[in-house]
Structures are given as structure tokens and as C-alpha cells.
Amino acid sequence: MLIEIIDVMISGLLNGSVYALMAIGLALVYGVTKAFNFAYGSLYTMGGYFAWVFLVPLNLPGGYYTVFLTAIPFLFVVGFFLEKFLVAPLRKRSDWEMKAMMLTLGLALFLDIGYIAIFGPRLKSLPDIVEGTLAIGPLVFMKQDLVIFVLSITGLLCFAWLLNNTRVGMAVQAVAQNPAGAQIVGIPKERVFAATFAISTIMVGIGGILLSQKNFVNPQASTGIMIKAWVITAFGGMGSIKGSLYAALIIGMLEAFVGYYLGMIHIDIAVLTVLLITLAFRPQGLMGRE
């Protein structure tokens, strides 16, 4: 019984850590650019397909090292130009928030169907990042789970370092706090927006590479992932990075327990219920500011 609970908790923690990576990317992009990105889940799937192409048909030497080294610049470029060409032109209009939502929703469908058109409708499975298991007393861990957990935490720490210790990170924070003020002191606002978008694309793409090992690369899952990332962001407080971290762990746990004890089909309903209850009592989310 206890072992069972610990197992479920571990799977919750694992999902939660990857969700945290994705949700924090989303919290960042919403906090800075105020653009509601509905194509976020499709970028997650893009990460999964990127890894699959490198590992299975091409079978490049170096395995996951090559994948991570090439995926980061690739995702950066994708995110940067996505913002530059699709979202930035909308920014001049008065109701651009609504237009951005619609555009990204169309983009999400375009990408998801595009994946099916290119790679076929069958789900792709990624090879495990490390094989084998690790036993501590009565508990048996999969080494793969541990590596995924460590990598997503490392990703989060890298992000925290980037945000607090580099010029780019400080520019991002300045724009988030006061866009007009940042522009006055000479921070190129447009470029910061694009860079933020690119960073969030990297985070969700890496999340896709990590989590697709366990769940298959599935273009139909994009919408679910996007909703999950948004629910976590809203639950934690839109634009609040610390809130998203806690929210991701809570949602990861909730999912694992509901999925194990009540059945997978109830996960979405349970998550939505928690979101509605939270928003009813705290409309700004767990740690959001008014």
C-alpha cells in the first residue's frame, strides 16, 4: 500500500517536473509579451518529432547528446521567427490579444495536421534515454525516470540563472515590469519579445523530448498538453514563475493520483475542477498579482 503510494507520487513528481519546465516557459512568455500562445502544445510535439527524426530514421552518433545540442538552437530559431513574422505584426492593432489567440489556434491546427502529413498518422516511440533500473530497498526506480527528472530540474535551474544573471535575462525582466520604461532606457523591446518567445519554445520543446520517451510522439496530444500548460500557468498565477513551479508539481501529483485510483478518463475533469475552484476563490491564481 505504502509502496504503491510512493510509486504514484514518483510518477507525479516526474510529470510535475517536466510540466514545470513547460509551464514556466509559458508563464514567461505571457508575463513579458502578453501573447496567448495556443500553438504551445504543437511546439511540444515538434520537440518530440525532432528527437525522433534524429534518433530513429537518421540514427546519428551521440544519441541524445546530439539531439539536445541541435534541438536548442533549432527551437530558438523556430520560436524567434514565429514571434517576428506572425505575432509581432499583430501587436499594432487594438484587439491584438484576440487576434493572437486566433492566429496561434490556426497555427496549432496547421502544425498538427502538418506533422501527420509529413510523418504519417502512426505514433512514434522514442528510445529510452538510459536503460535499466535502480533498486533502493523495496523501491525500484527506472533510471530513465531519474534522468528525466534531473534534466528537467537542470533546465529549470539554467533558466533561473539565465533570467537573473545575464543581460538578456535582465532585459526580459525589465520589459516584463514596464515595457515603456524599458524602451526609454534603450532596451530593444521587439527583440526581447522575440527572444522570450524563443526561450519558451526551447523549454517546451525540451519538455517534449523528455516526456515523449514515456508517452509516444503524438500529434493529437498537442491540444491536451497546451491546455495542461495553460491550466498550470493560470492555477499558479498568470506570469508568476514561482507560482507555476508549485502549480506544476500539484497538478502532476493530482494527475498521478486521479489517474491511478479513479482512471485516466477523469484526469481532465479533475484538473478542470481544481482550476475552477481555485479561480473562484483566487481569481489571480495561487501566487499571481492583481
108 contributes a contact to another protein by CB under 8 A: yes
86 residue type, one letter? L
Query: What are the b/e assignments for 136-166, b being 16+ CB within 10 Å?
Result: eeeeebbebbbbbbebbeebbeebeeebeee
Rounded to 5°, angle at Cα 59 from 205 and 214 = 45
Measured CA to CA, the distance from residue 95 to residue 93 in angstroms comes to 6
For residue 153, what is its C-alpha cell? 530540474
For residue 155, what is its C-alpha cell? 533546465
Short-list 201, 187, 192, 183, CA closest to 163:
192
Q: Would you say 179 or 224 has its CB closer to another protein?
A: 224
Q: Would you say 163 or 275 has its CB closer to another protein?
A: 275
Are 225 and 48 within 8 A, CB to CB?
no
Which residue in the set 3, 116, 140, 157 belongs to the binding site for another protein (CB under 8 A)?
A: 116
36 contributes a contact to another protein by CB under 8 A: yes
Q: Is the dihedral of CA 172, 96, 26, 287 positive or negative?
A: positive
Crossing angle of the two packed helices 189-215 and 2-33, in degrees rounded to 10: 160
Q: Would you say 65 or 261 has its CB closer to another protein?
A: 261
Q: Would you say 95 or 131 has its CB closer to another protein?
A: 95
Q: Would you say 128 or 268 has its CB closer to another protein?
A: 268
Q: Which of residues 147-166 bind another protein (CB under 8 A)?
A: none
For residue 205, what is its C-alpha cell? 520543446
Which residue in the set 19, 20, 21, 112 belongs to the binding site for another protein (CB under 8 A)?
A: 112
Measured CA to CA, the distance from residue 241 to residue 20 in angstroms comes to 9
Cα 147 to the center of its chain, rounded Å: 18
Q: Which of residues 12-31 bind another protein (CB under 8 A)?
A: 30
5 contributes a contact to another protein by CB under 8 A: no
Dihedral of the CA atoms 236, 172, 74, 228 (nearest 10)? 10
106 contributes a contact to another protein by CB under 8 A: yes
In the complex, least distance from residue 182 CB atom to another protein, rounded to whole angstroms: 22
In the complex, least distance from residue 134 CB atom to another protein, rounded to whole angstroms: 35
Residue indicated by cell numbers 481532465: 268
For residue 157, what is its C-alpha cell? 535551474
Which residue in the set 166, 177, 269, 289 belongs to the binding site for another protein (CB under 8 A)?
A: 269
Q: Which of residues 48-87 bind another protein (CB under 8 A)?
A: 86
Q: Which of residues 215-234 bind another protein (CB under 8 A)?
A: 223-224, 227, 230-231, 234
In the complex, least distance from residue 21 CB atom to another protein, rounded to whole angstroms: 20
Q: Would you say 15 or 152 has its CB closer to another protein?
A: 15
Q: Would you say 136 or 265 has its CB closer to another protein?
A: 265
Residues near another protein (CB under 8 A):
30, 36, 86, 89-90, 93, 95, 97-99, 101-103, 105-114, 116-117, 223-224, 227, 230-231, 234, 238, 265-269, 271-272, 275-276, 279-280, 283
